[in-house]
Amino acid sequence: MKDQILGETSPDPEIAETCDAKAVEGPREIRWKKKLINDPKDVVKEEAEGFLAAFGKWYEAVPGVNGLVRKDIPEGKTALVVGGGSGHEPMFGFFIGENLADASVSGNVFTSPDPVSIRKTAEAAERGGGVMFLYGNYAGDVMNFDTAAAELEKQGIPVRTILVRDDIASAPKERSRDRRGIGGDALMLKIAGAACACLDLSEAARVTQKAADQLYTIGVGLEGATIPGQRSPIFTLPEDEMEYGLGIHGEPGVRRVKMRTADEITEDFVNAILADSGIAAGDTVCTYVNGLGSTTLMELMIMNRRLAALLKEKGILIHDMDVNSYVITQEMAGASISVMKMDEELLRYYDMPCWSPYYMKQKS
């Protein structure tokens, strides 16, 4: 991948080609994954060029870096800047729009953007109301966004940071601050975008943090993804196994388990989320079933069908359900379920209409 600031080329994250293949029963040939790309080091830049070719009426590039920004950000608005590694599209870059993000900064595939890119993108979006950063809780992202925030504050630009920590499989409840951000990014961006459109920086951060504290997600992987330019997938699995509790970069799950039916997986997810969250009869929730890249909408809807039935059986009120593939891992097979506990304040921002090329909500 090419660093757009320094002009240097760096390799993709190294993925051992045989580390997981040993777990496969019997011989298994590892082949190059076919992808419609040119030079692997240019995929992030060329992706942004294609996006702007289609939607340049509303967006523009941040000069010199892999950043995109809205053209119509109102003066005085709290600027919402999101970002992370590429490879999760439409999250993060394609969620820029009305009552959503104002700008997005992208790193290489599954790699944090650098601090200079983050700072320049935030400067392009800032309109006098300060900047809120929203991104998943990963060490590289935290380090680089914090560095950029410090530089912005030296310029007199106030910054607040909200981390998405929704993956209940990645750390126990007593260490919830160590949890990583996964499919719940979509629900978080909906709340954060609406809050930043209506509130000053301090209040927008309060509402967004409130939403983050009520969000719970767990996922499963069936097949690994392949980073552009890499020979083999991030992980391989025996035909009758799945990775339980993995992250959106192909990080290992908490355990490997035998394949189960869609209903069985959904029931396990719901039980784990309710046990961790304390959500109970009489509570109101919004849910999101997320596909990881190659999972079909048919499969996701089958999971959502069981999710709805289970919540209703338990007396939990469903305000809204979403089913899509907003936070992918290239062509990984698998899915996650996110549940956010709502109150009147969060519902007010969740229900606000919004628009972007790949996510929209009409006025209810």
Residues with catalytic function: 88, 249
**Total length of the chain:** 364
According to DSSP, the residues that pair with 16 across neighbouring strands are none
Q: What is the dihedral angle through the alpha carbons of 47, 51, 56, 58, rounded to the nearest 10 degrees? A: -120
> Would you say the C-alpha torsion 329, 333, 334, 340 has a positive or negative sign?
positive
Q: Where are the alpha helices (DSSP H) in 68-184?
A: 115-125, 139-154
Ramachandran class of 332: left when φ > 0, alpha when ψ lies in -120 to 50, beta otherwise: beta
| Angle, vertex CA 249, rays to CA 54 and CA 59, nearest 5 | 20
Residues near 280 by beta carbon (within 8 Å), at least 6 away in sequence: 274, 314, 315, 316
| Angle, vertex CA 127, rays to CA 161 and CA 199, nearest 5 | 60
Q: What is the dihedral angle through the alpha carbons of 59, 107, 185, 56, rounded to the nearest 10 degrees? A: 10
CA distance 347 to 285: 9
Residue (of 142, 273, 159, 285) closest to 217 by Cα position = 273
Residue (of 97, 61, 101) closest to 81 by Cα position = 101
Residue type, 202: S
Task: Calculate the CA 269 to chain-centre distance.
Answer: 19
Residues near 176 by beta carbon (within 8 Å), at least 6 away in sequence: 165
In three-state secondary structure terms, 248 is coil
In three-state secondary structure terms, 198 is helix
